[in-house]
Amino acid sequence: MTIEAINEQLLRAIGVGVALLDRQTLQFGFRNDTFEEWFSAETQPAQLQQLFPDLDVSAMQENLTGSGRYASEIRFKKKRRTLVIALDFTAADEDVLVLVCQNITRIKELESMIDSYSMMVERNTREIKREKEQVEKLLLNIMPRSVYEEFKTFGVVTPQMYDPVSVLMLDFVGFTDMVASQDPSVTVTELNDIYSAFDRIGEQFGCERIKTIGDAYITVAGLPDPTPDHAKAIANTAIRFVRYLTRRNLSHPHQWHCRIGLSTGSVVGSVVGIQKYVYDIFGPAVNLASRLQEFSEPMQITVQDDVATVLKDQFDLENVGARTIRGFSKQDVWRLSDSN
Amino acid sequence: MAERTLYEEYGGFSKVSKIVLSFYDSLLDNDEVGPFFDDVEMSRIVDHQTKFIASILGGPASYTDNQLRQLHSHLTITDGHFDELETVLRGTLLQHGMASEDVDLVVAEFEKRRPLIVR
């Protein structure tokens, strides 16, 4: 076999469609087997435009004159499958045009599949992100952000001592009777409104609400970030809680009266529990605030001696004398009033 | 930890993509169910098959019963068509090395959707 004959054999059998055309008339001169296989039609058109009616011939000629090359793509259906063939024209010399065709159907199908897959994955990613944000929001409701960050990074929270902080303990007068005598769902809805308002007020003064247990509400100033003004912050918050309830009672049929106790000291904050974890604080200041609250008449704020010392210059305080406090030494307690 | 889906067990998308392509080839060559795709654009068929295979293997696509009913409502699909597709699906999964008990599970899931598709 001659070299020419081998070349021709190769050209015929190769998996790429090859055709030679007359540069001027665009008549086919040679078509290899692959080309015939792809573009076999009963009529066997002898001319390029007849075979590919959608081909932009003027653009092709322009490119061939300029760079000697032109690339295009055609799609057609074979049975019910869409074939995509890349056409590559090269001007070999003055008279001959070489057309090389590659079957890029699979590539196009893969591209479509990647599109489809990435759309699914992206949608799922968005959903997961949304869910994650909701979980985060829930966790931020039960613990301060800095604690949450630690929890997220290490999976545990190291108990931390906060010293000094001020604790506010609030309790509603006659809540149990209220639940019993009125529609409990209404009572709870109102409680939710009130707690939400308390949260907003506390936030204004940099207080961190720790928890609510039924009708008891505990918030702290000076945690997790130390604040020199923690006593003032807690006093301002307490005064506004009372003010809010007073105003609310004017326009609502259900009357809400609270007792408040304020204390200062150190607390330990940590996440407790493994499955059902909750962020909580522990320490004498928490207990003291709870005891002081019991000394309050409805809508009154009882303040620990140490807190009163700090607040005296700026707040309206009245000494109500020494009291014996369960678990603590006998000490002076004070009444904080709204000076406005 | 949640149970692994077949989709994950059989190697995620890198494996599933091969199943999708061969399923696509078999469907188009099949003269029983192929004609449903005669006038459908290629990228839409591929999209459809990708989601189909991904969803029946528990991958990142899922359809509610209502969606499935809606999506097939314009087609006159008979029990014969459904059976044929089931055969093609079974064949494709086996050909890609899926254990026959897993194939049975997938086909059983597929079979559950019959009333939504066939009319």
Beta-carbon separation of B50 and A80 below 8 A: no
Domains and CATH numbers, chain B: 11-117 (1.10.490.10)
Smallest Cα distance from B114 to chain A, Å = 24
Taking residues B1-11, what's their average pLDDT? 80
Smallest Cα distance from B100 to chain A, Å = 26
pLDDT per position as a tens digit, A242-263: 999 999 999 998 889 999 999 9
* Phi, psi (degrees; rounded to nearest 5) at A333: -125, 155
**pLDDT value for A40:** 76
pLDDT by residue for chain A (340 residues), tens digit each?
A: 788 888 888 877 788 999 999 988 889 988 888 888 888 766 677 888 888 888 888 999 899 888 989 999 988 888 888 889 999 999 888 889 999 999 999 999 999 999 999 999 999 999 999 999 998 988 887 788 888 888 888 888 888 899 899 999 999 998 888 878 888 888 889 999 999 999 999 999 999 888 888 889 999 999 888 889 999 999 999 999 999 999 999 999 888 999 999 999 999 988 877 777 778 888 889 999 999 999 999 999 999 998 998 888 889 999 988 888 888 888 899 999 987 7
Phi-psi region of A68 (alpha: psi -120 to 50; beta: other; left: phi over 0): left
Tokens coding A184? 């409990």
Residue type, A17: G
The contacts of residue A178 (CB under 8 Å, 6+ apart) are A172, A187, A254
Beta-carbon separation of B24 and A109 below 8 A: yes
**Which residue of A81, A106, A113 is in closest CB contact with B50?**
A113
- Label residue B46 by pLDDT band (50, 70, 90): very high
The neighbouring-strand residues paired with A336 are: A301, A317
Beta-carbon separation of B47 and A121 below 8 A: no
Choose the weakest-confidence range: A75-79, B87-91, B95-99.
A75-79
Q: Strand, helix or coil at A13?
A: helix
DSSP states along A118-161: HHHHHHHHHHHHHHHHHHHHHHHHHS-HHHHHHHHHHSS---EE
Taking residues B28-56, what's their average pLDDT? 89
Strands A81-91 and A69-78 come out as antiparallel
Is the pLDDT confidence value at B1 over 60? no
**pLDDT value for A41:** 67
How buried is residue A260: exposed, middle or buried, by Cβ count under 10 Å (0-12/13-18/19+)? buried
Smallest Cα distance from A131 to chain B, Å = 16
* Phi, psi (degrees; rounded to nearest 5) at A47: -125, 150
CA-nearest residue of chain B to A82?
Answer: B42
Beta-carbon separation of A117 and B17 below 8 A: yes
Query: What pTM does this model have?
Result: 0.66
Task: State the ipTM, two decimals.
Answer: 0.88
**pLDDT value for B2:** 59
